[in-house]
Amino acid sequence: MRQVTIAAVQMQCSWDVQENIAHAEQLVRRAASRGAQIILLPELFERRYFCQERRYEYYDFALPAEENAAVRHFQRIARELSVVLPVSFYERENNRTFNSAAVLDADGRNLGIYRKTHIPDDHYYQEKFYFTPGDTGFRVFDTRYARIGVGICWDQWFPEAARCMAVQGAEILLYPTAIGSEPILDCDSMEHWRRCMQGHAAANLVPVAAANRIGTELVKPDRENGGQSSSLKFYGSSFITDAQGALLESLGRDEEGVITASFDLEKCQKERLEWGLFRDRRPEMYTLLAQK
């Protein structure tokens, strides 16, 4: 039996980077105290969701992984607590900037970086202004406790991303997230958002966890942002599914906290073989996906 416990952290973010890092650490320690070995934090948790507005000065937030405050801080925490931490951050590589996740192993080593592949561009989710589409491809990481795949927010809507990680042997899929109200569309996307990832779990027979932020974040108009006035209410609802897509644990729309769930990875692997989904795949018949 290969037993692993994973956790998802849900939190509210301010503009104070050090405050957010300290608060995230508190929640990580809480998760570790409950036995979590792999702990997922929300997307871009170092500060408020700056992509709600366009400001050239926000490009200065982007740094290489080795210079990023959250990555450096949580390398120490990962080593101290012997936990795996995918850390979402705004990455700079020379003249390009990415929405990235550094996967920190339980000894604090950075195993590598995944760069967000699918970049949204919607009212107040203006990420194409800040991020170059990722060039890493979909990756899996051999951590101390499990082989994990990491997608970032908008990636979670794409079954192709989940399948690419699954065929590389991902045993768990993790999605750091920052999502909430749709200010133009007349809809509440939370259930749709959750069902998409439940489907990834069921179709690939791997557990899935998503960690979101909470709170209402306001933008006030000024000359630098072109007079934009807006707000986003992030709806939390972080969750963990089993390998068949059933919800095991979840948080509400307005509460901070930690959820955990445990899995026998050998049992999950046995079930993947028994179902035959990967045996019966026909990749040669899916070439249309790369053409359309």
Are the C-beta atoms of residues 54 and 225 closer than 8 Å to each other?
yes
- Between CA 52 and CA 55 the distance in angstroms is 10
- Between CA 50 and CA 34 the distance in angstroms is 32
HSE-up of 83 (CA within 13 Å, CB side)?
29
Distances, alpha carbon 158 to alpha carbons 3, 77, 182, 196, 200, in Å: 28, 32, 19, 8, 9
Q: What are phi and psi for residue 131, nearest 5 degrees?
A: -120, 135
| Radius of gyration of the CA atoms of the chain, in A | 18
CB atoms closer than 10 angstroms to residue 218: 11
Task: Decide: residue 105, CB within 10 A, 0-12 exposed, 13-18 middle, 19+ buried.
Answer: buried
Q: Which residues are identified as catalytic?
A: 43, 116, 153
